[in-house]
Structure 1
Amino acid sequence: MKLHGSPLTRAHVAFVHDIVMAALSFVLSLYLRLGGEVAGWWSGGELGLATLLFAGIAAPVFISQRLYRGVWRYASVSDMLALARAATLTVLIFTAFLFLVTRLQSLPRSQLIINWFVLIALLGGPRFLYRLFKDHRQQTKIARASGRIPVLLVGAGDEADLFIRAARSQQSDYVAVGLISERGARVGRHIHGVDVLGSVDQLEQVVAALQAKGAAPQRLIITDHNMDGGAVRQLLDCADRLGLSLSRIPRLTDLKDGVSDRIEVRPIAVEDLLGRPQNVLDREMMERLIGGRRVLVTGAGGSIGSELVRQICALKPAHLILYEACEFNLYTIDMELSQRFPEIERLPLLGDVRDHARVNAVMTQHRPELVFHAAALKHVPMVEYNPDEGVLTNAIGTRIVADACRDAQVALMVQISTDKAVNPTNVMGASKRVAEMYAQALDLAEGPRGGTRYVTVRFGNVLGSTGSVVPLFQRQLAGGGPLTVTHPEMTRYFMTVREAVELVLQAAAFGTTDGQERGRIFVLDMGEPVRIVDLARQMIRLAGRIPDKDVKIVFTGLRPGEKLFEEIFHGAEPPVPTERPGILSASPRAADAQALGLALDELATLCRQHDRDQVLRRLQALVPEYVRGDTPSSLAG
């Protein structure tokens, strides 16, 4: 015997079971309706014929509804819906057949409704009883198994539900001993028999209570991916006091809906400590901006530029031009895009934004509609030691790109800036402020009559980018330390590369829809700044070591051009809320585009003559708030 092409297996046993239950449901429902009067049916032989007819109709219906593809061990809501459909079809077909034969004269109509409920109960009941039995046996095995790691889950939502279900598998390394609710709203309830024991604020009491029961957890696992960085830092501190490790499960989209899946938890990363609750982005607006358009990205192989082109490709541009000065970076991002987005038409071009002829030739030949200007020299000490090169790239290069966009009638240029441009104390920040000024001046000069829009986006330090403190700490940790911090009070704003690029795209889309935003600078609401020494200590603890004991922290003093505290707004540009949560705009500080252009011509000449002192004097004249730090003797001459 075969059922749906399968050899004789448990599916056939289940099929026979269901046919018997179908026959029994007809007799039982008739008894519930008629009581003792059902004996009159039996004596006349009608009961037997009707029961056989009902079971005979049920057989092909059950097979047609594929009731035997599932496994009773994993019976779920979808299986229950399939049983309900099968019961409904069986009763309806039986009713129609009996109406044609007897006009339903000998059978009470209400019996058919009762039969539907009884049939579902007899089909579904044994399946779910079997699942409960197997679950109980599985839990017993897990409880007795050696080597399982008892864990306390932080978060009582969908991810916790999937984790607990997957942890019941014999392949799982973990057993959940309790749940912690972020806000305490679900305390006293349970998920699959695992109790919600308290809120995050009650973590220490919960762990103490579990220890008293002999069920002490060895690890905290965060299941809520919307938890902000401040809450994660508090959990890390508490876990450290309790002697517990802290981990996170994959995102819900990375978990398969199968109880036999093996869930691999991962250590908390520095991004988790610094992340913020994600603001809802207007994806439709971003798709309208990018979709079907020709886009050019300068600095396409850099840390910001490469993430920018990835997200742009996901929005399906008509054509993408990758403009990059470093051959290796250009090759790397081009190969990645060829594998991830083979359908996107793209063109990798080697070129420097300081090369006026090259930039103009690219703009004239390829006519991009949107330009994202991410090319920059951004490592503060390196630019401080090489100010002429930094100004040539960051200020003069931006001017060259912006003018080329205007001449080629580009619809939009997005200038990517930095918080170091606010009250700068270094050449890098001052040169980026000049770039901001020129983009703002051109945007204001165009006015409401149209022309190229220039949108400037400003954000703080990007985790993992070139020159970021995080990769430095990671390299120092790998070498055994020490971790070098310039000053115990130094603070910085941080964001992830993904957040930075999403801000760029969102601000670009928003800036093109509101003419009143001309000349403004869009800034991410980055929350509170983070002390670098605190970040260093947290990274040491994440590595499983003890700060100041296993790994030392050494204070080296401020480097040339560094300042203790970064700002994201100048006093003369008060922040103004926008329609998008989490994005602010800075009121423009107007500058005359023509006068600024003449000053930049002079600055470019000085840079190409490598007259360092004159470059710095001219830069300070352009950016009066630029305060030059102490110049090391090695820079003299």
Structure 2
Amino acid sequence: MLEYLLKLYKKPRLIIIDLFLVNLAVFSSFILRFDESWLLHFEFNYLVAITIISLFVLYFSSLYNKMWQYASMSELYSIFKATLAINTLFVIYLYFFRVSFPRSIIAINLMTDIFFLGGMRFALRLLKDFLNRNQNNKSKNRVLIIGAGDAAEMIIREMQKHPEIGKRIIGLVDDDPAKQALEIHGYKVLGKTKKIPQLIEEYDVDEVIIAIPSAEGKTIKRFYELSNKKNVKVEIVPGVYEILKGDVSLNQIREVKVEDLLRRDQVDLISSEISAYLEAKTILVSGGGGSIGSEICRQIAKFNPEQIIILDINENTTYFLERDLKENYPNLELISIIGSIRDKNKLEKVFNEYSPDVVFHAAAHKHVPLMETSPEEAVKNNILGTRNLSQTAADFEIDRFVLISTDKAVNPTNVMGASKRAAEMIIQTINKQVKTKFMAVRFGNVLGSQGSVIPLFKKQIAKGGPLTVTHKDITRYFMTIPEASQLVIQAGALGKGGEVFVLDMGEPVKIMELAEDLIALSGLTPYEDIDIDVIGLRPGEKLYEELLCDTEDNIATEHERIFINNLGAVNQQFLAKHLQRLESLAKKGTVNEIILALVDLVDTYQPRRDNVKKVDFKNNKKSS
């Protein structure tokens, strides 16, 4: 039926129909003004004039370029302009030809024109919505929406436009008392979120959509637990980090992920400060193809840099990042360079050719157990590589240098953490000697990064388990990759030189609970469908991570989520001596000798004794 009506909605036919409606509007105006005596005041030559004027106006109007099954306020505005033009020209005709005409009819006629012309067109929109609603009501998939805000409104509107997806909205829930019993596009707020289990049972709900992009992780977890019933699919609108333009579309709705259960508040950036040091500048990101480095590149791209230089040893990740950036930022000038921070000559060549203004140093070996067995690689990459890159940056007098560090640098018990603390010491020391502002940013684990615990758990679930947790009480700090990257960029704007920033990581998360949540999100029951095994701490692994040493204090900055560690000064000669020793040992030293040298350099480093044999760290000598 709708398709048949649309075929009739062609310009010649519509003009004829509109001319009839304009004439009908004139008749109606006289009847409304004079009731039964309207014929005493009416002359048929009025119709001749209004028809000619209307034909001219309607032919050259934009009314016939609209798809009226999608009519909205913009189309109503077009109708108003057309009817105003018709009535204005009609008044001019009456004035110049001195035609006797009741003045009060003009205003009435304007309204009746809008009513008839608009009514015919909006009737098609109403018919479309009615047919869609009927088709929607016949579908099998019954949907309950959590949240009655902007995101929910967008979802409802999209579902009304696309009945072919086969979803029937039964209503909404929201904890706001002011929204109870109100409606959005005809769908009612059925109660507060505590009624979710009852509504699922009462309406035989097939699907629940959490439509609150700003909700915290603990809130999402509560919604999920209320909605996670047998045969009920729980989905979510992505968080503010994932929605680039603030709009929600149906293809963005996805199943709840464990990252959602840990979601935290949106990062509010001080954009003016960031733009001041990134806009129209050349930015180099070492390790740009990695999890953090690639997201830093994406975030930087939003601030209109002149160039982004991706420096990474991994050609595959660099290639895919390059494609992604070019697709989303077609005007961005992008330079991809395959190379290592260990190669001082390559770094000097890159700096000489491209003259970067800012460096974000994200290149590092980060896997704790692997660095325990290959400490020389941590020394070459994390320590000596940082020295190479920072010295090159200082030689070329760049503006800022931001090192990506880790919470494992605090009271380290592993080689990786000790190597990152040594990298921080390099930054602190070189900052005192040059114009470049050097700084470091510490944070904990990032969700979904390469080699993190969540991808490992997912693979174990896919194989049927068990999930392996190193200790039942082990905890870690987590933040999302976009959140960490945004705060790193903000810290780069705040730094005056020499700071080691620490990010607000929120509350630590128990890995055991994380494993249980991930099993539940996979539609399985922990300890019934899939077991969780405790396998013991890995070499160099801590039970609890820290963000501050006992001797450190937090100093607040103008950003509420970023603090400065009040670290002690590093002696330049002491550092140079130990770096020279480490460089020599990285070429030919044993694991024991390298770890001993790291203990000498990083006084808070306390390696686990079962990892290094026959070394008395207290007296700094080999034991018998």
- Give the Cα separation in 2 of the matches to 1:243 and 1:418: 42
2:29 corresponds to: 29
Give 1:195 deviation, angstroms. Answer: 0.8
1:151 corresponds to: 143
1:66 corresponds to: 62
Alignment deviations for residues 224-245 of structure 1 (CA, whole Å, 9 cap, x no partner): 2222222222222222357632
1:277 corresponds to: 265
Stretches of structure 2 lacking an aligned partner (at least 5 in a row): 1-5, 616-621
Q: Please, which of 548, 558, 574 is the counterpart of residue 569 of structure 1?
A: 548
- Give the Cα separation in 2 of the matches to 1:592 and 1:326: 35
Letter in 2 for 1:187: Q
Letter in 2 for 1:461: N
- Give the Cα separation in 2 of the matches to 1:265 and 1:495: 21
- Give the Cα separation in 1 of the matches to 2:29 and 2:177: 46
Pick closer, same or farther for the CA change 1:426–1:596 going to 2, 3 Å. Answer: same
Q: Does 1:325 align with 2:313?
A: yes
1:111 corresponds to: 105
TM-score by length of 2: 0.89
Alignment deviations for residues 354-374 of structure 1 (CA, whole Å, 9 cap, x no partner): 333443443344432211111
Contact 2:475 2:544 in 1 (8 A): yes
2:618 corresponds to: none
Pick closer, same or farther for the CA change 1:327–1:33 going to 2, 3 Å. Answer: closer
Alignment deviations for residues 280-301 of structure 1 (CA, whole Å, 9 cap, x no partner): 2234443332232222222222
Give 1:421 deviation, angstroms. Answer: 1.2
Letter in 2 for 1:33: R
Q: Please, which of 194, 199, 208 is the counterpart of residue 192 of structure 2?
A: 199
2:95 corresponds to: 99
2:607 corresponds to: 628
Which aligned pairs between 1:148-297 and structure 2 lie closer than 5 A? 148-168=140-160, 169-208=162-201, 211=202, 215-240=203-228, 244-249=232-237, 265-297=253-285
2:418 corresponds to: 430
SS at match of 2:542: coil
Pick closer, same or farther for the CA change 1:35–1:162 going to 2, 3 Å. Answer: same
2:299 corresponds to: 311
- Give the Cα separation in 2 of the matches to 1:256 and 1:607: 52
- Give the Cα separation in 1 of the matches to 2:342 and 2:429: 20
Alignment deviations for residues 285-341 of structure 1 (CA, whole Å, 9 cap, x no partner): 433322322222222222222233333344443333332233444455455556655
Give 1:252 deviation, angstroms. Answer: 6.9
Please report the RMSD computed on the Cα atoms of aligned residues, expressed in angstroms.
3.0
Which aligned pairs between 1:529-548 and structure 2 lie closer than 5 A? 529-548=508-527
2:539 corresponds to: 560
SS at match of 1:51: helix
Q: Does 1:376 align with 2:364?
A: yes
Which aligned pairs between 1:10-89 and structure 2 lie closer than 5 A? 11-35=11-35, 38-42=38-42, 47-89=43-85
Which aligned pairs between 1:390-401 and structure 2 lie closer than 5 A? 390-401=378-389
- Give the Cα separation in 2 of the matches to 1:141 and 1:346: 49
SS at match of 2:607: coil
Pick closer, same or farther for the CA change 1:467–1:134 going to 2, 3 Å. Answer: closer
Q: Please, which of 428, 438, 441 is the counterpart of residue 429 of structure 2?
A: 441
Letter in 1 for 2:233: S
| Larger CA deviation: 609-618 vs 342-351 | 342-351
Contact 2:210 2:223 in 1 (8 A): no
Give 1:524 deviation, angstroms. Answer: 2.8
TM-score by length of 1: 0.87
SS at match of 2:28: helix
SS at match of 1:68: helix
Stretches of structure 1 lacking an aligned partner (at least 5 in a row): 1-5
Give 1:500 deviation, angstroms. Answer: 2.1
Letter in 2 for 1:532: I
| Larger CA deviation: 371-380 vs 494-503 | 494-503
Q: Please, which of 106, 115, 119 is the counterpart of residue 121 of structure 1?
A: 115
- Give the Cα separation in 2 of the matches to 1:582 and 1:78: 43
Give 1:133 deviation, angstroms. Answer: 4.2
Count how many residue pairs are aligned between Structure 1 and Structure 2.
607
SS at match of 1:217: coil
- Give the Cα separation in 2 of the matches to 1:221 and 1:353: 46
| Larger CA deviation: 363-372 vs 419-428 | 363-372
Letter in 2 for 1:117: M
2:592 corresponds to: 613
Q: Please, which of 334, 344, 349 is the counterpart of residue 356 of structure 1?
A: 344
Pick closer, same or farther for the CA change 1:540–1:620 going to 2, 3 Å. Answer: same
SS at match of 1:140: helix
Contact 1:293 1:369 in 2 (8 A): yes
Contact 1:423 1:626 in 2 (8 A): yes
Alignment deviations for residues 249-306 of structure 1 (CA, whole Å, 9 cap, x no partner): 467779999xxx9757421123222222212223444333223222222222222222
- Give the Cα separation in 2 of the matches to 1:13 and 1:411: 68
Pick closer, same or farther for the CA change 1:70–1:358 going to 2, 3 Å. Answer: closer
| Larger CA deviation: 132-141 vs 110-119 | 132-141
1:498 corresponds to: 482
| Larger CA deviation: 280-289 vs 81-90 | 280-289
Pick closer, same or farther for the CA change 1:140–1:269 going to 2, 3 Å. Answer: same
Give 1:482 deviation, angstroms. Answer: 1.1
Contact 2:540 2:611 in 1 (8 A): no
Give 1:190 deviation, angstroms. Answer: 0.8
Pick closer, same or farther for the CA change 1:152–1:341 going to 2, 3 Å. Answer: closer
Alignment deviations for residues 15-74 of structure 1 (CA, whole Å, 9 cap, x no partner): 3332222222223223433455533333xxxx2111332233223323333223334433
Give 1:248 deviation, angstroms. Answer: 2.2
1:465 corresponds to: 449
Letter in 1 for 2:81: R
Alignment deviations for residues 478-508 of structure 1 (CA, whole Å, 9 cap, x no partner): 2221111111111111122222222222221
Contact 2:143 2:206 in 1 (8 A): yes
SS at match of 2:64: coil
- Give the Cα separation in 2 of the matches to 1:461 and 1:635: 33
Runs of 4+ in 1 over 6 A off after TM superposition: 250-257, 633-637
Give 1:129 deviation, angstroms. Answer: 4.3
Give 1:10 deviation, angstroms. Answer: 5.2
| Larger CA deviation: 127-136 vs 271-280 | 127-136
- Give the Cα separation in 2 of the matches to 1:342 and 1:121: 47
SS at match of 1:226: coil
Letter in 1 for 2:236: R
Q: Does 1:402 align with 2:390?
A: yes
Alignment deviations for residues 160-215 of structure 1 (CA, whole Å, 9 cap, x no partner): 2232233334312211111122544412101121111122344334435xx1xxx2
Give 1:549 deviation, angstroms. Answer: 1.3
Pick closer, same or farther for the CA change 1:226–1:73 going to 2, 3 Å. Answer: same
SS at match of 1:80: helix
- Give the Cα separation in 2 of the matches to 1:305 and 1:262: 30
1:3 corresponds to: none
Contact 1:181 1:198 in 2 (8 A): yes
Contact 1:354 1:397 in 2 (8 A): yes
1:142 corresponds to: 136
| Larger CA deviation: 527-536 vs 621-630 | 621-630
SS at match of 1:317: coil
Q: Please, which of 533, 536, 549 is the counterpart of residue 528 of structure 2?
A: 549
2:3 corresponds to: none
